Structure 1
Amino acid sequence: MRMPGRLDRRLAVAVLLGFAASGIALVAWQSQVSRVESDAQWQAQSLDLARYVVQRHAQRLADGAAARRPDTLADIGMYITLIHPSLEAYLVTAEGVIVSHTLPGPGPARARIDLAPVRALLAEHDVAAGARAVQLPVYGEDPRVAQGRNLVSVAPVGSDAWLYLILRGKQAAQVAAQGEGRVWQAAGVAVLTLALLLGVATTVAIQRQVTRRLRQLAAELARFRATDGAVPAQPMAGDEIDQLRADAQALQRRVEQQFRQLEDSDRQRRELISNISHDLHTPLANVRGWLDTLLISGERLSPQERERHLRTAARHCAGLGRRVAELFELASLDSARAVAHPETFCMADLLSDVVQAHQLGAKQAGIALGMSPQSDLGAVVVADVALIERVLNNLVDNALRHTARGGRVELTVCSQGETVVVRVADNGCGIAQADLPHVFERYWTTRHIGAASSDTAATPSHHRGVSAGLGLAIARRIVELHGGRISVVSSEQAGSEFSFWLPMRVQPV
């Protein structure tokens, strides 16, 4: 038989079966105790019956025993039946050989009985009431059956014979069996009812004390997996422990995945430190080189050469300052205290300001920079103007540095439902497909020649294609801080298009 699935139900069934088995055993024990007590009382009341019969028919019994006549009890059988219908009488020798009996039909099943178990009953006739020499009931062999014992009453007949009375004959045994069957039936119904009630009560108790906590733990694990972004586990067959085991295995897999992510993040962090050290070391070394040149060869240099050396050192110092500022800015955006100060403004106006700010550098590089004529000039958003301007500056500067002379960088703004979409597109070198998933990672670097770089500092031509991932990482963090999202679409040698979405609010008229 298959047990129910839930643990509380399985335990309840087990407890129910246990109660039923215990109840049946208790009823059997109680029935046995009651039967022994009843036999003891019956034997105590009927103990003198054999002596009474012997006293009434002493001579006839003595003569029959001495002559070994089988019909000795035939004349007094009716008398014995009148005393009690269940009595069965046997005249036996001192050795236990049956001489005569009152049984109808074929007679007894054995010709001799063992008198040793009942010899102690002879002493009962000489002991005062309440001070018995033996503990009743005392059972003797039943001659009517080949194997069996029954209540007896015995009395000596002369010196070499006994009158042996079976107190519970065949008729009494049949009546007792019927009564015992009814008792067992009633007791069985009572025990099963009690076991059912106790099983129900136990089910409730177990559910409240044991399985409730298991289900709570399983539910907490499921909620943790849901909040952690894991796919919810499919319901499985089994009880709460099986479900908890499945959730624990899923959690273990999730923890292992997170450990791998932490290891990867730690690797990227070490690479970031290495790259930042390189990026900081390079301008510092350049500044020191130009200054050392001025100190060593200052008198031999012309004023124009000294000015050029100083301007070059100043440019490297400015680049170093921008890189340090970016690191501080990214750390500030990642902190829990980073907040935006939103206000309503026209996105097209902000794009126009950014285009004007980069127009001179674009002309010097021979790149066409402007806004798309399809832009929505009336699109407004609720955002932090300074932070969104930082995003646009990073994207435009990134596009200009990776677009060749004669190329084009175009900015577009449009409305989509409750959001405003801004796109910065170029026809530069593009980004490799393998690098696209990583361009917004702050620790990511690429050595792919021609790949887009998120470094917003002026990067020497020999170092182009190597990035610490700060500019685009800052842009993504700012957009996410506003509840928006940012993405990129690109192909190698075909250009890139960066897009970000911000919530839109229409100004009241």
Structure 2
Amino acid sequence: MRSFYLKIAVIFSAILILFGLLVVTITMRASSDIAKEAIQKTNQDITAVLAKEFQPMLAKSFNQDEIEEKLTELSGKNPQFDFYLLSSTGYVKSVIPASKEKIALDQIALDTEPLDRFINGDPLPILASDPLNPDREKPFSAANISIMGSEGCYIYVVLEGDQFTQATAMITESYIMRGTLILLGVVFIISLVTGLFVFSNLTSRLEKIKKTVKGFERGQLNERIEVEGNDELSELSICFNRMADTLVENMKEIQKTDRLRRELVANVSHDLRSPIASIQGYLETIQMKGDTITRDELHNYFGTVLSNTKKLNSLIDGLFELSKLDAEEVTPNLEKISMAELIQDLVQQFRPIAEKREVTLEAQFPTNPNNLIEADIGLMSRALTNLIDNAIQHTPEGGKVTIATVESGQDFVIEISDTGCGISEEDLPHVFDRFYQADKSRSEKQGAGLGLAIAQKILHLHGAEVMVSSIENRGTTFRVALPGNGIPA
């Protein structure tokens, strides 16, 4: 019984059988009730007519033979009926047909309450006991009659007489039962075949789903369920496919994160090893020379140690800052700031550095440079500082770095362009990856490769979109689009 289809088939078959038996029982009972109601309504007035005919015969005497002769005559015309004369208390005084020997007339007393309700015109059908079969109730017709001055007696006609009951039972057991069972069998077979076909179609779809899920479980990550129709199974298939796509994407992201983690460890080790080795080397040299070291040598050694220490400190600060941004522990404190003023301050800050490298640093502003935006001035300054520093570091002597602010539709745009060596198409998608450097030689003069990653994280916190375009040997442009128009100052 592990097969879902077999379980459904067995349950469905059992339900069909029980339903069929219930239908047969209800149908036969309903047919019997309808027949009883119909025969009672059809012969409702028969006893009223008989009462008028028998009343003169029973007014002063009770001639059993004469009554039986008359009832026999009537019974011969209606063999399905049994005729009774009852006392006011329900005792049988006379009965036709001749099967009367089956009952002791002085021992049979019927409940007259149904007879009174019939005579009073209560709604039909009304059933009462059959003297010949006291455990069965049958449709009847009744009327009051006076017997030898005794009022409240009854003429009682059982409309399904003993012969009629026997004949009905025979017919029921033969024709009706056989026909009903045949019809039920045909309906059962048709319903069963149809149901099993439908269930087979449904379970076959479930089997496909199970097969795909098992394949996915075994590592066949490209397996997807074919969506058929527009029902619950289709929705299940769609949900599984979406879940599988999400899982595959998450796995790719995990693999990428793991790869970045390994690269991070390697890059951090590389960036830490060089300054630490330099610091260690110079300190060992100072220790070895002892008192023989000159003041100028000592000054140079300490300068180199200090430079490498600052580089280590910068790298550690960058890693710490990036980790906080990754963990979403940084919340920008938004305020209205003037981007023109911020950029002007940054230009003044970087101009000495640019001049030292013989690079021209220029700021360009729109016609209304006093527009404000909402930003965290500290974080925004940090992001733009990284972008400007990156542009200056990659621009050769005689080159130019331009910082321009423009209003473009719904965005406030900042463009930082340089005339440096540019970035190749192969490297361009990775410029914001941490520790990624297009220059594979990893010059000591360059940073650790965290600046652009930090800048991107900070700009994303402000809802900004940062894009980069570059042409080799012509230069690179970073474009930052801050959402919303500038707010007038």
TM-score bucket (shorter structure) = 0.5 to 0.7
Match of 2:436 among 445, 449, 455: 445
Q: Give the stretch that moved more between structures: 295-304 or 422-431.
A: 295-304
Return closer, same or farther for 1:81/1:168 CA change in 2, 3 Å cut-off: farther
Does the C-alpha gap of structure 1 residues 285 and 166 become closer, same or farther in structure 2, counting only changes over 3 Å? Answer: closer
The residue that corresponds to 1:367 in the other structure is 359
* 1:161 equivalent in structure 2: none
Of 232, 235, 240 in structure 2, the residue corresponding to residue 240 of structure 1 is 232
Give the match's secondary structure for 1:339: coil
Question: In 2, distance between residues paired with 1:423 and 1:365?
Answer: 21
Q: Deviations over 1:200-228 (max 9, x none)?
A: xxxxxxxxxxxxxxxxxxxxxxxxxxxxx
Match of 1:483 among 456, 463, 472: 463
For each residue in 1:238-265, what CA deviation from the matched residue of structure 2 results, as whole angstroms up to 9, or x when unmatched? Answer: 3224313321332132123212211221
Alignment partner of 1:401 out of 381, 393, 413: 393
Secondary structure of the structure 1 residue equivalent to 2:287: helix
Question: C-alpha deviations, 1:44-64, integer Å up to 9, x for none?
Answer: xxxxxxxxxxxxxxxxxxxxx
Distance 1:234 1:474, change over 3 A: farther
> For structure 1, which segment, 489-498 or 23-32, has the greater mean C-alpha deviation from structure 2 after superposition?
23-32
* C-alpha distance in 1 between matches for 2:272 and 2:165: 117
- Within 2, Cα distance between the matches of 1:350 and 1:86? 119
- Higher mean C-alpha deviation, range 494-503 or range 472-481: 494-503
Match of 2:276 in 1: 284
- C-alpha separation between the residues in 2 aligned to 1:22 and 1:152? 28
Q: Distance in 2 between matches of 1:499 and 1:166?
A: 102
Q: By how many angstroms is 1:19 displaced?
A: 10
Contact 1:345 1:380 in 2 (8 A): yes
Cross-structure match for 2:482:
502
Paired AA for residue 466 in structure 2: I
Asked if structure 2 preserves the Cα contact closer than 8 Å seen for 1:375 and 1:413, the reply is: no
| Superposed counterparts of 1:169-318, under 5 Å | 237-318=229-310
TM-score calculated relative to the size of structure 2: 0.56
Q: In structure 1, how many angstroms separate the alpha carbons of the residues matched to 2:310 and 2:324? A: 21
Deviation at 1:166, TM superposition (A): 12
Q: Percent identity?
A: 27
Q: Deviations over 1:87-106 (max 9, x none)?
A: 9xxxxxxxxxxxxxxxxxxx
Residue number in structure 1 paired with 2:91: none
Give the counterpart of 2:472 among 483, 488, 492.
492
Matched AA of 2:315: R
Q: How do 1:28-43 residues align onto structure 2 when only pairs under 5 Å count?
A: 28-30=27-29
CA distance in 1, matches of 2:165, 2:335: 113
Of 313-322 and 240-249, the range deviating more from structure 2: 240-249
Shift of residue 398, structure 1, vs aligned partner: 0.9
Residue of 397, 420, 423 corresponding to 1:431: 423
Q: 1:18 to 1:481 in 2, by over 3 A?
A: farther
Q: How far has the Cα of 1:380 moved from its partner?
A: 2.4
Residue 440 of structure 1 deviates from its aligned partner by 1.8
Q: Which residue of 2 aligns with 1:204?
A: none
Seen in structure 2, the aligned counterparts of structure 1 residues 82 and 321 have a Cα distance that, compared at 3 Å, is: closer
- Contact 1:440 1:472 (C-alpha < 8 Å) held by counterparts: yes
Pair 1:83-2:63 in alignment: no
CA drift of 1:275 comes to: 0.9
1:338 is paired with a residue of what secondary structure? coil
Structure 1 residues 350 and 136, CA gap change in structure 2 (3 angstroms): closer
CA contact (8 A) 1:375 1:414 kept: no
Alpha-carbon deviation of 1:436?
2.2
Q: Secondary structure at the match of 1:501?
A: strand
Q: Structure 1: state its 5+ residue gaps.
A: 1-13, 39-78, 88-123, 138-150, 154-164, 185-232, 454-458
Residue 354 of structure 1: how far off its partner (Å): 1.2
Q: Which amino acid is the alignment partner of residue 283 of structure 1? A: P
Change (3 A) 1:136 1:37: farther
1:460 to 444, 447, 450: 444
Please list the CA deviations of residues 345-375 of structure 1 after superposition, one character each: whole Å capped at 9, or x if unmatched. Answer: 3212221221221222222222222223768
SS in 2 for 1:318: helix
- SS of 1:237 mapped into structure 2: coil
Please state whether the residue corresponding to 1:499 is helix, strand or coil. Answer: strand
Is 1:411 equivalent to 2:407 in the alignment?
no
Return the offset for 1:331: 2.4
Post-superposition shift, 1:20? 8.0
SS at match of 1:371: strand
Kindly indicate whether residue 395 of structure 2 is the aligned counterpart of residue 420 of structure 1.
no
Q: Cα distance, 1:446 vs. partner? A: 4.6
Aligned counterparts of 1:373 and 1:36: Cα–Cα separation in 2: 102
Q: Distance in 1 between matches of 2:34 and 2:362?
A: 111
What letter matches 2:377 in structure 1? V
Match of 1:472 among 444, 452, 460: 452
Secondary structure of residue in 1 paired with 2:301: helix
Q: Which residue of 1 aligns with 2:127?
A: none
Tell whether the 8 Å contact from 2:412 to 2:485 is kept in structure 1 after alignment. Answer: no
> In the TM superposition, what is the alpha-carbon distance from 1:425 to its structure 2 partner?
0.7
Per the normalisation by structure 1, the TM-score is: 0.54
Q: CA contact under 8 A between 2:365 and 2:406: conserved in structure 1?
A: no
Amino acid at match of 1:472: L
| Structure 2: distance between partners of 1:344 and 1:336 | 23
**Matched length:** 325
What do residues 297-322 of structure 1 show as CA deviations (whole Å, max 9, x unaligned)? 35444432322221111111111111
Q: Paired residue for 1:328? A: 320
Return the offset for 1:324: 1.0
* Distance in structure 1 (CA, Å) of the matches to 2:335 and 2:226: 46
Question: Is the 8 Å Cα contact of residues 404 and 416 (structure 2) preserved in structure 1?
Answer: yes
Residue 96 of structure 1 is matched in structure 2 by: none
1:166–1:374 distance in 2 versus 1, CA, 3 Å: closer
Shift of 1:337: 3.9
Does residue 388 in structure 1 map to residue 380 in structure 2? yes
Question: Is the contact made by 1:368 and 1:408 (CA closer than 8 Å) also made in structure 2?
Answer: yes
Matched, 1:355 2:347: yes
Instruction: Sort the Cα spacing of 1:337 and 1:167 in 2 relative to 1 into closer, same or farther, 3 A.
Output: closer
> How big is the alpha-carbon RMSD for the aligned residues of Structure 1 and Structure 2?
4.5
Q: CA deviation at 1:412?
A: 0.9
Q: Confirm or deny: 8 A CA contact 1:479 1:485 kept in the other structure.
A: yes
Q: Which residue of 2 aligns with 1:207?
A: none
Q: 1:338 aligns with which of 326, 330, 342?
A: 330
Within 2, Cα distance between the matches of 1:128 and 1:82? Answer: 18
